[in-house]
Amino acid sequence: MMFRHLVGAAVAAVFAVVGLSGAAQAGATLDAIKKKGFIQCGVNTGLAGFSVADSQGAWTGLDVDICKAIAAAVFGDANAVKYTPTNAQQRFTALTSGEVDILSRNTTWTLTRDASLGMMFTGVTYYDGQGFMVPKSAKIKSAKELKGATVCVQTGTTTELNLADFARANKLNIKPVVFESLEESKVAFFGGRCKAYTTDASGLASIRSKDAPNPDDYLILPELISKEPLGPAVRRDDVEWFTLVKWVLYALGEAEESGITSANVNEMKSSADPNIQRLLGALGDMGQKLGVDNAWAFNAIKQVGNYGEIFERNVGQKTPLHLARGLNATWKNGGLMYAMPVR
């Protein structure tokens, strides 16, 4: 009835108990995925550029494309994905209880999550940091000026913790207003209840571009107060599945480093470079080693594109988010994206 949240929490607990009661075995997740023919992918409820559904229910975004690339690697079909929108709070239960196979939802890789929540991070798809957004009219230039200010924040996030650390370290006495859903926190912030809204800088760019009544009225402050390496995570019950996801991410990065794009991947398959041949499955048995088809990376790149393409298409300079590559450029271009050798 009305105490939906309480019931929701109780249901989550029951799911956790029942889900955790299922027996675990090696290769369980990957085998089950192959059997059912699609990947159940946990995404955001709606964060433009990362995961958002259009009016037809088709999902797009950087986090969505990661799931598509994995589906292409496993099934040769980037559309063999079903999406489960999760809010900040439900996401880990959704993953560990088996409701989703992979959580690809602007989730920060931290020690606690990696070591004690029953999940493993497979890599980083977006290097980010936590920032603040304020109305320009407030004439705030730096986060350090937020002394005594009310700040809207969403529960179940690293954001909430970092905010506390930052306020404590700088003696700012910030008053947080904590929301369960992104939707209500946006209503409160744009309604003027809070002087600032805080989350990952990429999230701020997304919210400003899509939800602000007038994006130009809002300023994202220059300081980033934390490291937020965002990446997909899987359950701690299947090392094969974990390894596969990890290597699909590397393959997307490697493709960018070697200049392979969705447009030229066919020609590249007959490249003289054995590294490229190996990646695209023309040489060796890399796919078999991962337990999937040898054309795994070829399919992922052809159907979804390399990491650079995914980035530019969803969050890059030509999108409303206008995010620069920055830390997310390849290491050759001064960024942090570095793919392990496929050999």
Partner 1 sequence: MADQDRTIHVPPRPSPWNDPKIRAIIYQIVLIAGVVALGVFLVSNTLTNLQQRQIRTGYGFLDQEAGFFIGETLIPYEAASSYGRAFLVGLLNTLKVSVIGVVLATILGTIIGIARLSQNWIVRRLSSAYVETLRNIPLLLHLFFWYAALTNLLPDTERAANLGLNIFLSKEGLRYPWPEVEPAHIWALTALPFGIAGAVAFSKWAHARQMKTGRQIPLLWPSLAIILGVPLVVWLVGGAPAQFEIPEKTNFGHDGGAAVTPEFMALILGLVTYTASFIAEIVRAGILAVSWGQSEAAGALGLRRGPTLRLVVLPQALRVIIPPMTSQFLNLTKNSSLAVAIGYPDLVSVANTTLNQTGQAIECISLIMAVYLTVSLSIAGAMNWYNRRIALVER
Ligand X SMILES: N[C@@H](CCC(=O)N[C@@H](CS)C(=O)NCC(=O)O)C(=O)O
Q: What is the DSSP string of 193-225?
A: S-SEEEEEHHHHHHHHHHH-SSGGGEEE-S---
Is 12 a binding residue for ligand X by CB under 6 A? The answer is no
194 phi/psi in degrees, rounded to 5: -115, 145
Is 303 a binding residue for ligand X by CB under 6 A? The answer is no
Contacting partner 1 within 224-253 (CB under 8 A): 235-237
Taking CB under 6 A as the binding criterion, the range among 116-124, 199-207, 231-239, 306-314 that sits at the site for ligand X is: 199-207
Among 96, 97, 104, 159, binds ligand X (CB under 6 A): 159
Among 40, 199, 258, 306, binds ligand X (CB under 6 A): 199
| Residue 107 binds which of partner 1, ligand X, none (CB < 5-8 A, kind-dependent) | ligand X
Using left for φ > 0, alpha for ψ between -120 and 50, and beta otherwise, residue 326 falls in: left
Is 314 a binding residue for ligand X by CB under 6 A? The answer is no
For residue 20, the number of C-alpha atoms closer than 13 Å in the C-beta half-sphere is: 13
d(CA 324, CA 185): 26
Residues 6+ apart with CB under 8 A from 55: none
Q: Which residue carries 């598509």 as its tokens?
A: 68
**What separation, in Å, do the N-terminal and C-terminal C-alpha atoms of the chain show?**
56
Contacting partner 1 within 181-200 (CB under 8 A): 181, 184-185, 187-188, 191-193, 195
Taking CB under 6 A as the binding criterion, the range among 156-164, 254-262, 300-308, 330-338 that sits at the site for ligand X is: 156-164
Rg (CA), the chain: 21
Residue 166 tokens read as: 């930052």
Of residues 76 and 176, the one with the C-beta less far from partner 1: 176
Residue 180 tokens read as: 């369960």
Contacting ligand X within 216-255 (CB under 6 A): 228, 230
Q: Can you give the binding site for partner 1, defined by CB under 8 A?
A: 2-6, 9-10, 12-13, 16-18, 20-24, 88-89, 92-93, 96, 112-113, 115-118, 138, 145-150, 152, 155-157, 160-161, 163-165, 167-168, 174-181, 184-185, 187-188, 191-193, 195, 235-237
Q: Can you give the binding site for ligand X, defined by CB under 6 A?
A: 44-45, 47, 87-88, 106-108, 154, 157-159, 182, 199-200, 203, 228, 230
